[in-house]
């Protein structure tokens, strides 16, 4: 339904596909945290559109493709931590820390 799409669109468009905490989603959608967890998340998880991680909710590639097919603008996802450059990448003594 439209709230499911709004939830996915918020994760993708406002939070770079996640991860995002459920409290932040609730604030953006003007919904209660419990409503998101009990009503919307189970359906989206079953469809494979949403993943729950310790860091927060993530929109899957399947969700991004689905939203794109509905005409939503899909920005590139945020880079994950392993892809981010290290602070010590150019430091020869980095292994000593």
Separation of alpha carbons 80 and 84, rounded Å: 7
List domains and CATH numbers for the chain.
Answer: 2-75 (1.10.10.10)
How many alpha carbons fall within 13 Å on the CB side of residue 23?
1
Residue with tokens 């399947």: 62
Q: For residue 1, what pLDDT is reported?
A: 78
The structure's pTM equals 0.75
Query: Is the confidence at residue 79, as pLDDT, over 80?
Result: no
Phi and psi for 57 in degrees, rounded to 5? -85, 140
pLDDT in tens, 1-55: 788 999 999 999 999 988 999 999 999 999 999 999 999 999 999 999 999 999 9
Q: For residue 95, what pLDDT is reported?
A: 54
Residue with tokens 């468009």: 13
């Amino acid at each position: 339904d439209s709230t499911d799409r709004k939830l996915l669109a918020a994760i993708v468009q406002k939070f770079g596909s996640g991860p995002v905490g459920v409290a932040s989603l609730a604030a953006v959608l003007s919904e209660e945290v419990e409503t998101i967890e009990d009503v919307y998340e189970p359906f989206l998880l079953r469809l494979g559109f949403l993943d729950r991680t310790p860091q927060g909710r993530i929109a899957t590639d399947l969700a991004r493709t689905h939203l794109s097919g509905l005409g939503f603008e899909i920005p590139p996802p945020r880079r994950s931590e392993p892809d981010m450059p290290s602070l010590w990448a150019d430091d020869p003594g980095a292994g000593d820390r």
